[in-house]
Structure 1
């Protein structure tokens, strides 16, 4: 029995690593592990089941992510993996890893603030420019290049940039 548990633990680690390498189709510098979309990997009797959570309800990328996870698992030697979507608890930007936040910034997207302040409720939110680091920024549009981003501009360097909206 101990051998079976150790075997399942190794299979789970291999399956997690395979799934964790899948990139977000809308922000290809981030993996689903960076985003916190990859929730769980279970192995039972050699069969793998992966749970993913959408960044928001109706996210068009989730179908592609599920297909890519299944392909990554099959390429890693897992036969007929199951990928399921988990809606509760709802995904939050707090699940984005520190590495994911760094990757966003390096890619030119302002990462979401860890905790939304009361100021954000009253339209006084300030977002740091990923280009120059200035806090002197302004919201141009609640809608950016994808539904999960808003368009901002830096008043210091005058560059527009996406901001990954808080959820």
Structure 2
């Protein structure tokens, strides 16, 4: 003899279908939010390319001449930008790509980014208005595996 599955009342079946639909809509909504966050557009700029207001952007959207609200140690996923006529945490003076290839290790990437920024600062014969440091944003391993080789150089007040 073969057992037969119990018959599910229609009410439970309707609840199950509703649960699946709600879950699907939720997953699509979260996916859309993630997509929008990852494809954020350029910061708002005027005709000359200058940032027009305080806003948040991705580090790879920074351009030479942009000013950031502040710089922090550690991985940077979003960064504040603002017009440079306001007190700021640093100004971008160079943007360049590190050479392609397999991930060389964090210490190697940091050394290459620091050397690239320092060399560019010296070559441009830049002078800081007040005591400052050269600061750089560089790729991390996860970004490197997705093709990120960008390095952004900033002069930041001490």
- Determine which structure has more spread, i.e. the larger CA radius of gyration: 2
Task: Calculate the TM-score normalised by the size of structure 1.
Answer: 0.24
Task: Calculate the TM-score normalised by the size of structure 2.
Answer: 0.25
